[in-house]
Homo-oligomer: A and B are copies of this chain.
Amino acid sequence: MVAHSAAASTPLSVPSSSSSRSTIPSTIPNYNVAPPNLTTLPNNSLFDTWRPRAHILPPTGQIGDPCMHYTDPSTGLFHVGWLYNGAGIAGATTADLAMYQDLNPNGSQAIVPGGKNDPVGVFDGSVIPEGIDGLPTLLYTSVSYLPIHWSIPYTRGSETQSLAVTNASSAGRNFTKLPQGPVIPSPPFAANVTAFRDPYVFQSPHLDAILPSGPTNLSTAPWYTVISGGIHNAGPTQFLYRQHDPDFQYWEYLGQWWSEPTNSTWGNGTWAGRWGFNFETGNVFALDAEGYNPSGEIFGTLGTEGSDLPIIPQVTSIHDQLWVAGNVSMTDSDSVTFTPSMAGFLDWGFSSYAASGKVLPSSSQPSTDSGAPDRFISFVWLTGDLYQQAEAFPTDQQNWTGSLLLPRELTVLAIDNVVDNALSREAETSWRVSSTDAASGTVTLRTLGISIARETKSKLFSGSGSTSTERDRTLTSAGVTPFSRSPESKFFVLSARISFPSSARDSALQSGFQILSSDEEHTSIYYQFSNESIVVDRSKTSAASRTTEGIDSATEAGKLRLFDLQKDGEDVLESLDLTIVVDNSILEVYANGRFALSTWVRSWYANSTEIRFVHNGVGEATFENVTVSEGLYDAWPDRK
């Protein structure tokens, strides 16, 4: 759960969802002239302006952290969930990771706060698909006191962990809270926590093997849960627990299996940002090259709450959505410890956060149809209003806030034939050297593979509109070159390969695309060698940002090292493979199977649809396989 300021965390701040898409706005904005201050427009008048088609978001209102996902063992459908309107968890089902059906009318919640355990809040939970009585069982954070924030003293008892169950007839439309107190009623004794939330359940042969034997009365391998948080004046941490009984009533505390010093970084902070002051939404899973493998390499995703200085009470000015891989071992004091081996960003966007994923078994409906193996699918939240800190965002005018990003398959990605040099050997990065070929002077690197889920990607590229391919070209001079055929809409996916000569390294070269372009607006997406970054320049993205304070125009960037590769006996610079999804205002940039950066691109003008090649005239860039598939698809065919 992303805990914001005191006000923002209370149910009182829930945006109204009384109006809906079907409400006919009293005025329709004119997208052919400059916008007014959008907060002056009537409520709901901007509902369609930036509404995405292919993304997961509720019919109206505010989406928060993704959570509560699972595959229903009885239907094979995958359930994706999210915090909704600051008051509980709603969800939808999918048979193909592309189209979704709301579980409840108007996208209302499957569980809401207001019980004895959670009088003021239901924060993130995760599901044991075959839990109590074999039914999908939600372990969630039940909230009794607010505000909660790492920058202020923690009110004891604010966050506990409770259970709720859905049965065959409710099938996820409703999770019924157990009529009892929390199953994890407190943080560890006398721990002065900064947070104690977002329990994430998982199974782990690694932990089974390394830990002293646990409960003997379970019919399956024990479940574990990490609970995210931190310790005041010590640092962020994950608390680890193990299932103790078949009814999931008791969870044995196994210690703070992973702690980092307050506001420290992984390495120099370049590749994985900050550990911050508090961990949130920690997931733990294991991967191999194909997908989910419980005996594979241990990975996690987590949100970290950081801050610029000076710290402002109840403000988290930096949210990093990270991933980590590592190993577990037993310490001398007989407690289990997780030690990171590499870490990176699951998504580099400022607004990308609170990722939560789930094992998607090969037996699920989507995987049965696609033939996919067991996978781990991660959903990242894209906050619509900078974590409720955007000044004067036209929330009521839009009547929806935020979205989830496209489902992502995570794997262990191998990068072969990498030249064994300082670039590949850098320590404490988002990759590790997994093998060395001394004869050829190369190494194989491994890192987290991040791709749009195959079914989703396939559907994006077979969009409802036309598909066109630009001719290959090499740019050497500064300027922009419009595509021969640009999309007619703001719904498309663009893929391309850009290659650079080895001389490009450390140069001032910048090259890429402008999208959503017109005379008035454009968004630049380019690779910049000077700091090995993919940059999304939004300074000209939206005419609305010039009239409306809440329309952010800050530049986004993420680091991607293009390695030196040995190819046919020669050292060449790894090329840049881009997949750029534009779903109206949502931009997702994927690169080289291991990079993602997502953000909002809220262009205003109807004709801001042009795509352009862009180059800054330094060195050269060769563009190949530049394809645009237009239209995307409607992820919510059942919504009116």
Residues in B whose Cβ lies below 8 Å from that of A183 = 156
Is there contact, CB below 8 Å, between B116 and A189?
A: no
Residues of B near A249 (CB, < 8 A) are 156, 190
In the assembled complex, the Cα of A185 lies from the Cα of B252 at a distance in Å of 16
Interface 9-mer from A174-182, A415-423, A429-437, A484-492: A174-182
Q: Is A155 an interface position by the 8 A CB rule?
A: yes
16 further interface pairs, Cβ-Cβ under 8 Å (given A156-B183, A186-B186) = A116-B145, A117-B157, A144-B181, A145-B179, A145-B180, A156-B180, A156-B181, A157-B185, A158-B180, A160-B181, A160-B185, A181-B186, A189-B252, A190-B245, A190-B249, A190-B252
Check if A190 sits within 8 Å of B250, measured CB to CB: yes
Q: Mark A349-375, 1 if CB is under 8 A from B, else 0.
A: 000000000000000000000000000
Contacts of A250 in B (CB 8 A): 189-190
Interface membership of A522, Cβ < 8 A? no
Give 8 CB contacts A-B under 8 Å.
A116-B119, A116-B145, A145-B181, A156-B183, A157-B181, A160-B185, A186-B186, A190-B244
What string of 1s and 0s marks CB contacts (under 8 Å) between A159-173 and chain B?
010000000000000
Interface mask (A243-262 → B, CB under 8 Å = 1, otherwise 0): 01100011011000000000
* A190 to chain B: closest residue by CB: B250
User: Which chain A residues (186-217) contact chain B, with CB distance < 8 Å?
Assistant: 186, 189-190
Minimum C-beta distance from A137 to chain B (A): 15
Which residues of the other chain, B, contact A252 by a CB distance below 8 angstroms? 189-190
Q: Closest residue to A154 on the B side, CB-wise?
A: B180
When the two chains form the complex, which single residue of B157, B160, B253 contacts A180, counting CB atoms closer than 8 Å? Answer: B157
Residues of B with C-beta under 8 A to A185: 157, 160, 185-186
Residues of A near any B CB (own CB < 8 A): 116-117, 119, 144-145, 155-158, 160, 179-183, 185-186, 189-190, 244-245, 249-250, 252-253
Cα distance A182–B252 in the bound complex, in angstroms? 20
Which residue on chain B has the smallest CB distance to residue A250?
A: B190
Shortest beta-carbon distance, A195 to chain B, in Å?
Answer: 14
Distance of A508 from chain B, by nearest CB (Å)? 57
How far does the Cβ of A244 sit from chain B's closest Cβ, in whole Å?
6
A11 → B minimal CB distance (Å): 14
Cα separation A285 to B333 with both chains bound (whole Å): 38
Residues of B within 8 A of A160 (CB): 181, 185
Complex: how many Å from CA A186 to CA B160? Answer: 11
**Cα distance A179–B153 in the bound complex, in angstroms:** 13
How many Å lie between the Cα of A147 and that of B244 in the bound state?
25
- Across-interface contacts of A244 in B (CB, < 8 A): 190
Distance A180 CA – B193 CA, assembled complex (angstroms) = 14
**Which residue of chain B is the closest to A156 with respect to CB atoms?**
B180
Q: For residue A231, give the distance in angstroms from its CB to the closest CB of chain B.
A: 14
Residues of the B chain whose Cβ atoms lie less than 8 Å from the Cβ of A158: 180-181
Closest to A245 in B: B190
Chain B residues within 8 Å of A179, by CB = 145, 155
Query: Would you give the shortest CB distance from A35 to chain B, in whole angstroms?
Result: 46
- For residue A350, give the distance in angstroms from its CB to the closest CB of chain B: 34
Say how far A175's CB is from chain B's closest CB, in angstroms: 18
Top 9 closest pairs, chain A to chain B, by CB: A157-B181, A185-B186, A156-B180, A185-B185, A190-B250, A155-B180, A156-B181, A116-B144, A157-B180
Closest Cβ–Cβ distance, residue A227 to chain B (whole Å)? 15
Complex-state Cα separation, A157 to B249, whole angstroms:
11
Q: What is the bound-complex CA distance between A630 and B164, given in angstroms?
A: 64
Measured between beta carbons, the chain B residues less than 8 angstroms from A144 are: 116, 181
Nearest residue, chain B, Cβ from A191: B250
Report the Cα distance A415→B155, complex, angstroms.
54
Report chain B residues within 8 Å CB of A181.
144-145, 155-158, 160, 186
What is the chain B residue whose CB lies nearest that of A249?
A: B156
Measured CB to CB, the nearest residue on chain B to A119 is: B116
Q: Which residues of chain B are near A245, meaning CB under 8 Å?
A: 190
State the Cβ distance, A131 to closest chain B Cβ, in Å.
Answer: 16
Min CB–CB distance A449 → chain B (angstroms): 40
- Least CB distance, A242 to chain B, in whole angstroms: 12
Hey, which chain B residues are within 8 Å of A180, CB to CB?
145, 155-158
**Minimum Cβ distance to chain B for residue A566 (Å):** 56
Neighbouring B residues of A157 by C-beta, 8 Å: 117, 180-182, 185
Q: For the complex, give the distance between the alpha carbons of A180 and B181 in Å.
A: 16
Report the minimum CB–CB distance from A162 to chain B (whole Å): 9
